[in-house]
Amino acid sequence: MLGDADAQQSSKYWLSQRPPSLPLIKTWDYQADLLLTAKPPPEITRLVIDTPGALDGWRLREVVARSNLVVVPILPSAFDVQATKAFLTTLTNLTNGGKTQVAVIGNRIDARTLSGDKLKAFLATIDVPVIGYLRDTQYYLHMVEHGLSMFDISASKIEKDLVQWQSICAYLDNL
C-alpha cells in the first residue's frame, strides 16, 4: 500500500497512471494532519508513506513513531549533504532507542563525477546504513508517466538498475 503525505501528491499521481494490467498497489488515502489517528487496513503488511522533504515537528515525530524503517534519499550535492546530515541527527534522536531503523539511499548518482565521490565519502562517515546507490537515469522519469516501476518493464532494458536495487530489496526483505 502506498500513502502520500506530500502536498504535491506525486506518488498518488504515479499510481493513477498505473495500468490495470499490472499488479495492484493500493492507495492509502488520508489527510496528512490526521496521520495521528489514521490506520491502514489490517490486511496490509507493507505500507510506504511518501512524505515531504521538509517534514518536521510533531508530524515527523508521529511518522517515525509509527514506522519500522525511515529511508532517506540523498542527492549528490553540497546542499543535500548539509541538509541531510542535520536531518539524520534529528531522525536518530526520534528512533525510540532503535525501535525505528533509519537508512539512506544515494539517489541520482553518476559514479564518474566528483559530486558522486563526495557523497560516497560523506556517507562513509555517518552511522546510518547506506542500503544502495541509484544511478541518474531517464528511465525513472519515463516510468512515472506510465505508472511503472523498475520491476514492471523488461529486465534487459534496465539491467544496471536492477543490480542496484538488489541491495535495497535485500535490506527490506530482512526487516
Residue 154 CA neighbour count, 13 Å, CB half: 2
What's the CA gap between 137 and 160, in Å, rounded? 10
**Cell numbers 520491476 correspond to what residue?**
151
Q: Which sequence spans correspond to the domains of the chain?
A: 1-66, 67-175
pTM more than 0.85: yes
Q: Is residue 69 within 8 Å of 49, Cβ to Cβ?
A: no
Backbone region of residue 108 per phi and psi (left: phi > 0; alpha: psi in -120 to 50; beta: other values): left
pLDDT tens per residue, range 33-84? 655 567 778 888 888 888 888 788 888 888 888 888 999 999 999 999 999 9
- CB-count burial class (<10 Å; 0-12, 13-18, 19+) for 144: middle
Percent pLDDT > 90 in the chain is 46
pLDDT tens per residue, range 2-46? 888 888 888 989 999 999 999 999 888 766 565 556 777 888 888
Q: Is residue 16 within 8 Å of 147, Cβ to Cβ?
A: yes
Please state which CATH class domain 67-175 belongs to: alpha beta
